[in-house]
Structures are given as structure tokens and as C-alpha cells.
Structure 1
């Protein structure tokens, strides 16, 4: 638990969020959950912990910080221990600032093993030359590769790397499949191992009272595998408040694909539905250019009159430049778009782009604070280190605030 000084500062941030929300007003009536009201206004923010990221300690701390920052949803791997870590982080945030809004918890699954979000890097360090410069370790944004050089014989000089070998490798629970290590390995020893989440296990997760939403990733290669997964999830899908579908831009066939998927979902669609426009997967931490594809995806869909019902949200390449790019496109919290076709199913009082999901970039800016916690603390709880908690919150607010319309806050 944070000491009184830290708690009072955190509470002041909560008050700022509440005041900002009250000033903005609510286009939806009181009968809408606050998360849905945010989607209607266009200020929904989702934290993506990573569909394959299973480091429970990091997920817990990320969830705590971003709950305090005011996100509406936290998306995580469809794994019971990871879901538990998300909810623990949310609970701790609520114990620090009781008035904080509880975000929806979303689990991510896939219908096709070709989806880039559902893979892990793998290699045998014994296959690596002992004098390798370890570029894979340097390029990994998740600190998921750890290689240590050990000497085989004590009499050899420590300065001669050819006399040793490398030990370690990929930390599986931290790898989220970005693939950056694949291209930098000078010896082509790293493989990508893809997988599909077990629908039976997912169905059991959806029955829990601490899971609010599901996101189904589809590759845009057709609807057969989506239909199979949907059928396998069965009645469990009725337990969630929101069903999201994440898909790439596949050109002129995108809207037809979305409508076909929507037709399949209609049979069990009792809650809300959302389309996640996945522009450039797992690239938000790269730089300004990464956000162009997801904004272009949104611009493309805005011109289509036959797009299916539901909320629309950006992902894939989202970072601190995304809001600026959306504003330039005329799509930030806008119910109209000059030159765009009007959909017969769109509520004219509802923003076309309901919000933004932040993944790699969101994890990066808070993760660099988490990495500062001294190693001797092991799997540290960030609330036990109030200075770091406040610093991490400031980073999170720098990303969430521009979407939510929070006033600019002074440095902590």
C-alpha cells in the first residue's frame, strides 16, 4: 500500500479524471455502462497486455498502473493465471483510489495459427556460436531473451569467448511473438512457434465472473475457421458484455469479410460488439511511422457505407502519435468525416472511432519504470515502491490523457 503522500497524489489524479468526464458529458444515457459511454464518445482506451504475454508479475503491475490512469478495458492472454494477475492489479488500484473505474477484463483468442499475435520465438542456445554478439537479446522489446556466456574449462581465459558456450534462451512467458529476433539472428537459428488457444479452456474462462469480454483475432483469410471457433465457444459467449473481432485491412474485401463474420455472430450476440482495426501489429514502440497503417485502415472504412454495426477501435502501431494522426484525418472523436459515405447502421450521435488500444508502446513506457525496481526485490509489487508507482502513473497518463481529455498534469 502506498504511503499517505503517494495516495493523496494518486487520489488527485482520480479527481482530475472524474472532473474531465463530467465536463465532457455523456452522449449515451445512464443506462449504458461507463465503458460503452466511452466508446460512444470516442474516448475509450484499452490496454493490451499481449495475447501471448504471460508474465503474471508484469501483467499485474501494468494492470494496476493503467487502471489508475483510467483505461476502460485490459486485454490479456486467455490464461487463468494471467486473468488472475489482471484482476489482482485492478483490485490493488481500487484499494489505493476507491473511486477508480474498474476496467473490463478481456481475453484474446485466435481462430488461425497464422496470426502473428499467437506465436513464440524458440531456439536452442547450444546451437549458438559462443562468440555471438547476441543481437536477439538486444532487439527484444520484452526482455524475453537472456543469454549468458559460460566457460567450459576453468583454465581457459575469460577473455576468449570461443572457449565457452551460451546458456539461457527465450523466456517463454515474456515472449509475445513480435518476431524482431527472427530477422537479426546472423545464423538463422531462431524459429517462430505458432499455436491456437484451446476453445474449451477459453469457454471455461468466459464463465468466470471476472472476465467481461473476449477478442477473437482472425487473419482475414476467410470465415471458415472463425465459424468453427465460434461454434466451439458455444453458449459461453453469452456470459460476456462485449465481443471484439480483431482483423487486418485486406483491401476491398474487408467489409464483406466483416459482414460475413457479423452474420455468424448475430446468433449469439447478446451484448455489444467491437471491430479492432489492426493496422500494423506489435509495432507501436517503433516510432511515428508505425501508426500510419491503422489510421489509414480507419480512413478506408470510413468511406464504406455497408460496414457492419458495432464500435470501431484502432490497434496495431498505436502510440503517442496516433491521436495527432487521427486529428489530421478528421476522425478523432468525430461523428462525421468529410467525403465519407454514411452507414445506414451508424448512430449519428456516436463517434465513428470509439477509441484506441495501446499495446507495445503502453507496455514500454511503464515497463522502463518497472525495470528500475532493484532486482533484489524479485517480482516486486509496484505499490510497495510509491516513487516508482507515481512515475509509472505519469507515463500512463501521458498516453491515456490525450484520449480522455484530461488536463495537462504537472510532473510528479
Structure 2
């Protein structure tokens, strides 16, 4: 049987003003709720976050990712702290609502960093004129974001397919698509590719947090000290009060991890008016590799679960998360296991220790298979990626 045709363009391009008005009404109702559905998901342990990429700025792809995964039922969409990218996320959410009016709007989260050494905030860069024209272009083949494009061209009409050394390479890194995974760095046979790191401008982040279509912020920190985190927190000022959720993404730095987290929590506590979340970033940007990639983030969770002095807040896995993560959590006895927690003097009822999972590379890789027929495959995406689907399978 032939697959159903994709939705007509006019459906995907429904009156944006009407869709935006409907989305604003939904967000208004959400703001008035005492217990937002996203928080209920964290408490149950079935929160799902889509990571578009802290450095991924291809607005068209971000829009389509947001459309598909809103239809799939994610609770949050995490994106680069860039106005055009935030706009693309919200456009995708709004179009999803025009297709399925009852769909729940996910929270929109922007990601920033306090340290240029964070792997999520870098771009690959190289000059194609430095590349030998007969290079086999392994960087182009290994890039999961299709962010490298190289083409051989003629020199004075002498280039021939049989003699590539007589031509040259043009193109290079498509900056807005590169999200800093670093896989191209190790495969370049001539060591010509560099990683260019950066820090998001806090003044632009402040402006983003004033928008009514940004619900959360995630601060990436390297765990190498609190000074830079404190500086960024100070620069964000009162704008932090505009969001519903503040997340901190950090790696496992061993025995000092919990002390580091508690120091950060002390900094945040005076301005913490909403909810807070700790993102346990095991093996960054590796979820699309395979089963072994998820071990580090689950080990991180196991480590913290044994620490009685861990700070309050919700906990979520990231970095290497894929279809094996739930299985690994179950083997560790952490899938929807419960704990008691207190934040800002409020004691919550029994809740899951791991509140949810964030999917990045794995989610983008799955979407890439179906990006030319978004609506038709939204349900399939739900079945594959949604933690809620896994819960049904395991119970």
C-alpha cells in the first residue's frame, strides 16, 4: 500500500497570526496552572526534552524538528539562545498546534554557557584551499549534521575526474548547521580543522528571557569552578525571574561533583522563584553512536543517587541518551524510582529521582530519516523516541 501523501503546504503554512493567538491563549492557561503538566511529567519520571543543539542555528531544520517533536509529545524543546532560532522553535510549535489543536505546547528552553571550554559551544572551521584536492573528504562523511560541504572545481579548465589533483576544493563548514560534536577533528588526515569556541552574550540572553515565548533557561557549566557561573548569574540579573524553569547542565567531575552543585545552588537560591533542574551530561553529543554511549550518563545518575547531600531540584539525563537509556536505567534500579525532595522550603510528594531524559543527536538522527514527510511520520517518531512509549512497553 502506498504511504499517505504529505499534508498540503497550505496546512503547514496556516494563518500564522491565528496560530500565534491560539498558542498565546494556551500559554496563558499554563501560566495560571498551579502544577504545569511539564512539572507533573518530571515528578512522574516521564519528562522528555528535545535538544535541537546549543550551537545549532539552522532555523529551517529547527522549525521542522520542533514541529515533529511537538506532535510527538515532548515536554520541552531546548535550543540555541538566538532570537531567530527561538522564533523557529515557536513557529514549529504553532504549526503543530494548527495540525492537532489539542497538542500540548512544550516549554521552550534556551541554552547558554559560562565557559568557552564547554564542548556544546564551539564550531568547526577550516579553509578548503588548505585541503589537498585529492583528499577523500572524511570530514564530510562523518558529520552527523551535514554541516560540511566540499566540491572539487576546475582550475583554468584543466580539471578532470581522472585527475583530481589538478583541481581544488571549495566550500567548507556550514556554520549555522555545525553544533560542535568534534567528529571531524579526529578524522582529518591533514589536521586542518580547528574548533572555534565562544560564549553566548549575556545581554542578548537577558532580552530573550523577557520574551513571553521563552519558558526556561539552561546554563552549561564545565564543573571547573564557580566563578564564571557566578559572573553569568549576576549578569542575567532579574531577567531570570521571567522563566518557569532553570536548568544547570554539568559533567560528572568525580567526588567534588555534589559540592560543586551545592555551591551553584547556593548562588541560584536567592533568585530561584520557579523550578530547578540538574542535567547530568554524561557523554555529550554521542547518543546517535550506539549502546555504549549511554553508559556514562547512567553511571552519573548512579553516582548521584548514592549521595544524600545532593542539592534539591529535578534530575534529568543527557549526553549519550538513546533507545538503550531506559533499559540501562532499569538495570541500575533508577527507572522511575522515587525519592523525597525539597526546594525553596516546599516539600514535594514522592517523585521519581530521574525526572526525565533529553534526546539530542539520537532524536535528530531519527528525524533526518523522515524530514521530507514530517506529518506522516510524527506518530512513528512518538513510538520511537517518547519515554512515555517506553514506559508502556516496560509496565
| 1:248 Cα deviation after fit | 0.2
CA distance in 1, matches of 2:333, 2:17: 30
The 1:191–1:60 alpha-carbon spacing in structure 2 relative to 1, beyond 3 Å, is same
Aligned to 2:152: 149
Task: Answer whether contact 2:339 2:350 (CA < 8 A) is retained.
Answer: no
SS of the residue aligned with 2:165?
helix
Q: Which runs of 5+ in 1 are unaligned?
A: 365-387
Q: CA deviation at 1:327?
A: 1.0
1: distance between equivalents of 2:113 and 2:282?
17
SS in 2 for 1:291: helix
Partner residue in 2 for 1:393: 375
Return closer, same or farther for 1:105/1:194 CA change in 2, 3 Å cut-off.
same
CA change 1:24–1:286 in 2 (3 A) is: farther
The answer on whether the counterparts of 2:55 and 2:122 sit within 8 Å (CA) in structure 1 is yes
- C-alpha contact (below 8 Å) 1:14/1:97 kept by paired residues: no
Distance 2:112 2:267 in 1: 17
State the distance in 2 between where 1:14 and 1:329 align: 48
Separation (CA, whole Å) in 2 of partners of 1:67 and 1:34: 14
Shift of 1:154: 1.3
- How many angstroms apart in 2 are the aligned matches of 1:24 and 1:394? 27
Scaled by the length of structure 1, the TM-score of the pair is: 0.83
Q: Would the alpha carbon gap of residues 239 and 149 (structure 1) be closer, same or farther in structure 2, given more than 3 Å must change?
A: same
In structure 2, do the counterparts of structure 1 residues 101 and 289 end up closer, same or farther at CA, with 3 Å as the change threshold? same
In structure 2, do the counterparts of structure 1 residues 222 and 91 end up closer, same or farther at CA, with 3 Å as the change threshold?
A: same
8 Å contact from structure 1 (residues 17, 70) kept in 2: no
Q: Is 1:105 equivalent to 2:108 in the alignment?
A: yes
Instruction: Quote how far apart the aligned CAs of 1:155 are.
Output: 3.7
Q: Secondary structure at the match of 1:81?
A: helix
Could you tell me how far 1:405 is from its partner in structure 2? 3.8
State the Cα RMSD in Å.
Answer: 5.2
Give the deviation of 1:330 after TM superposition: 1.1
Corresponding residue SS for 1:82: helix
> Judging changes above 3 Å, is the alpha-carbon distance between structure 1 residues 133 and 321 closer, same or farther for their aligned structure 2 residues?
same
SS at match of 1:89: helix
- How far apart are residue 30 of structure 1 and its match? 6.9
* 1:159 positional shift: 1.6
CA shift, 1:111, in A, is 0.1
Distance 1:147 1:96 in 2: 38
CA contact (8 A) 1:313 1:356 kept: yes
- Distance in 2 (CA, whole Å) between partners of 1:40 and 1:309 is 13
